[in-house]
Amino acid sequence: MSKKILLSGVKPTGRPHIGNYFGAMKQFVDLFNANDYQCYFFIADYHALNFIQNAAEMNQNILDLAIDYLALGLDPKTAVLYKQSDVSAHTELSWIFDTIVTMPYLMRAHAYKDAEAKNKEINVGTFNYPVLMAADILLYDTDVVPVGADQKQHVEYARDIAEKFNFIFCGATKDGKNADKAIFKLPEPLILESVATVPGTDGRKMSKSYNNTIPLFATREEITKAVMSIVTDSGGPEAGGIPANVYAMHKLLKSEAELTSLYDTNKGKYKALKEALIEDMDAFIKPLREKRVEIAKDSQAVIEILRDGAERANEVASKKLSAVKKVIGVL
């Protein structure tokens, strides 16, 4: 029996942080290692183009993210590791979906509404973001998409778009009529509740745009600086002498039992608790950081891996695109 398909992507918009890792990338690694899935991991460079308009920066970010993936232990011989722009079926399918997706539907997307609320001038790429993402996912018959909570709606959009396409062009209904004729499989998001939204140093969602991150491959100095900057508000859950933001981050690294004794003995001692967090964070990051340095020494090999991944991804994606073209009547 063939394996189920797992797919996910990350935007090359700068160094990934521990929110990306615990919220999504750790699940990539764990599920890859479990060996139950055929895995596709990609670099969402066309999505990143909405944010980065500088060729040198984009190039560097793509290479860096490929190195990051490899440093996490994803074996490119088994997993398919590629960049989105190398598989033109993504953008082609996105256009086909554009013709069946309505504007009011896309206007309900959180990312669009947020941008609009901030009075941002929204480009079409941002507006269409969920459509390209649906194409990313649906081209590979994906079963599961490990992501953080902020991407849940996007996976739901992919499901909706798949259902709509299956109905319009294949006559497949939600209640199972003509199910065998459906072109697209409905994907499921995989979101771990405990890490669905990893908080940053200020207690808000960890995000590059909030400047509250701890980079996943941070140096010890960077870890120290970030942890020392964690806001230790004394209100709310901190009333018992537990700095909530420090504790929340510590919980990513240690069990509650381990933390209970540490936080009991250091009640109210915020500096000592932060120092303990620095130690634990560095112990976790150090091996990743060292592996990353090794991989980064041979960038040509990394470029080769992406090239090979693109070839394998194209094989699958182009077959699906041909099937789509046939049912829409252009082939």
| Of residues 17 and 266, the one with the C-beta less far from ligand TYM | 17
Q: Cβ 216 to ligand TYM, closest distance in Å?
A: 10
**What are the residues whose beta carbons fall under 8 Å from the beta carbon of 135, sequence distance 6 or more?**
89, 90, 91, 92, 93, 94, 97
Q: Which two tokens stand for residue 165?
A: 């396409």
Cβ closest to ligand TYM, residue 24 vs residue 246: 24
Contact 292, 217 (CB under 8 A): yes
Q: Which helix (H) or strand (E) covers residue 10, if one does? A: strand 4-10
Closest residue by Cα to residue 14 from 42, 41, 39, 51:
51
Supply φ then ψ for residue 240, to 5 degrees.
Answer: -85, 20
Instruction: Pick the closer one to ligand TYM by CB: 149 or 170.
Output: 149
- We find the least distance from the C-beta atom of residue 113 to ligand TYM, in angstroms, to be 16
With 0-12 CB in 10 A as exposed, 13-18 as middle and 19+ as buried, what is 286? middle
Nearer to ligand TYM, 44 or 81 (CB): 44
Under the rule (CB under 6 A), what is the footprint of ligand TYM? 8-11, 19-20, 23-24, 44, 47, 133, 136-137, 145, 147-148, 150-151, 154, 195, 197-198, 205-207
CB of 208 vs ligand TYM, minimal distance in Å = 8
Extended strands (E) in 84-169: 144-146
When the beta carbons of 151 and 266 are compared against ligand TYM, the nearer one is: 151
CB of 29 to ligand TYM, least distance (A): 13
Q: How far is the CB of 130 from ligand TYM (least distance, A)?
A: 9
Considering beta carbons, is residue 250 or 266 the nearer one to ligand TYM? Answer: 250
Task: Determine contact, residues 27/146, Cβ cutoff 8 Å.
Answer: yes
Q: What is the nearest approach in angstroms of ligand TYM to the Cβ of residue 156? A: 12
